[in-house]
């Protein structure tokens, strides 16, 4: 009888020990999660939220239209006309990058290898592929990509500088480079003609794009010559 009681006592003792160890493990796990919750919600909520937002936030430039240059009679010497840019989301294009780059190179004259690199960029959700293109041409290329099942390439508004008089008074009027005026009245009146680009912000994830905010481009002003 004594031996049986001793055996039962030993078994109960081991069961109690395992139960205590189990409670200790559970308490440690709960303490860890509680500490993490405090960190996320109390100690540093701002930076955690900012990091999460930054991870999937795309910022898209909204180019401002440039003001017109008029002669003293009101005839346009330089003006901004409708145009678009072609852009890509590398996270959506990297799988089909060679095929997409081939089409863009053939149709828009883009450098194949540079375009391929942009389509495969690992740390980006937005890449410029081509700027200031005629809307009909760029839209047709993007539609071709969509028809062939390729996703991630789209267009955005991007005004083109036009010179109705062509070469007449070209030295006087000047011209624009890729990002700045390079001579003539375009350069002289740049501060007056140039607007300020705006910005659109999106949260991207799971193939969806959620608008976060939009700052519209500022208005430009017209310049008029005295002769």
The pLDDT tens digits for 125-167 are 889 999 989 999 999 999 999 999 999 999 998 888 888 878 7
- The pLDDT value given to residue 153: 95
Buried residues in 140-168 as b, exposed as e (16+ CB within 10 A): ebbeebeeeebebbbbbebbbbebeeeee
pLDDT at 211: 79
Q: pLDDT tens for residues 17-76?
A: 677 777 777 877 777 666 665 554 554 545 544 544 445 677 878 888 888 999 888 888
Fold of 83-158: Alpha-Beta Plaits (3.30.70)
Hey, what are 64's tokens?
């401002």
Given a contact cutoff of 8 angstroms between Cβ atoms, the answer to whether 71 and 77 are in contact is yes
Q: Is the pLDDT of residue 213 over 60?
A: yes
Confidence of residue 110 (pLDDT cuts 50, 70, 90): very high
Q: What is the pLDDT of residues 171-182, one digit of tens each?
A: 888 888 777 888
Out of 7-16, 18-27, 141-150, 209-218, pick the least confident: 7-16
What are the residues whose beta carbons fall under 8 Å from the beta carbon of 127, sequence distance 6 or more?
87, 88, 89, 90, 118, 119, 121
**pLDDT of 9 above 60:** no
pTM, to two decimals: 0.60
CATH of span 60-81+160-227: 3.90.1310.10
Give CA separation, 123 vs 16, 60, 61, 164, in Å. 54, 16, 18, 42
pLDDT at 155: 93
Span 87-106, pLDDT tens digits: 999 999 999 999 999 999 99
Q: Check residue 205 and give its pLDDT.
A: 67
Is the pLDDT score of 223 beyond 60? yes
Where do the domains of the chain lie? Answer: 2-54, 60-81+160-227, 83-158
Highest mean pLDDT among 59-68, 77-86, 203-212: 77-86
pLDDT, mean of residues 178-187:
84
Say yes or no to pLDDT of 1 above 60: no
3-state SS class at 94: helix
């Amino acid at each position: 009888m004594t031996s049986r009681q001793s055996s039962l006592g030993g078994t109960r003792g081991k069961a109690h020990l395992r139960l205590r160890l189990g409670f200790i493990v559970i308490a440690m796990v709960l303490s860890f999660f509680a500490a993490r919750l405090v960190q996320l919600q109390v100690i540093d909520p701002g930076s955690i939220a900012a990091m999460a937002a930054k991870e999937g936030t795309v910022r898209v430039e909204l180019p401002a239209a440039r003001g017109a240059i008029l002669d003293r009679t009101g005839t346009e010497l330089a003006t901004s006309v409708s145009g678009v840019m072609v852009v890509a989301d590398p996270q959506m294009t990297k799988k089909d990058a060679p095929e997409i780059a081939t089409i863009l190179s053939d149709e828009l004259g883009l450098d194949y290898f540079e375009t391929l690199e942009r389509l495969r960029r690992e740390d980006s959700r937005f890449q410029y592929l081509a700027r200031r293109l005629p809307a009909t041409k760029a839209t047709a290329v993007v539609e071709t990509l969509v028809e062939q099942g390729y996703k991630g390439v789209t267009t955005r508004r991007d005004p083109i500088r036009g010179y109705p008089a062509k070469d007449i008074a070209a030295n006087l009027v000047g011209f624009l480079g890729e990002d700045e005026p390079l001579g003539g009245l375009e350069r002289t009146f740049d501060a007056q003609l140039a607007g300020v680009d705006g910005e659109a912000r999106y949260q991207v994830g799971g193939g969806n794009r959620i608008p976060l905010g939009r700052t519209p481009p500022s208005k430009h002003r017209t310049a008029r010559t005295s002769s």
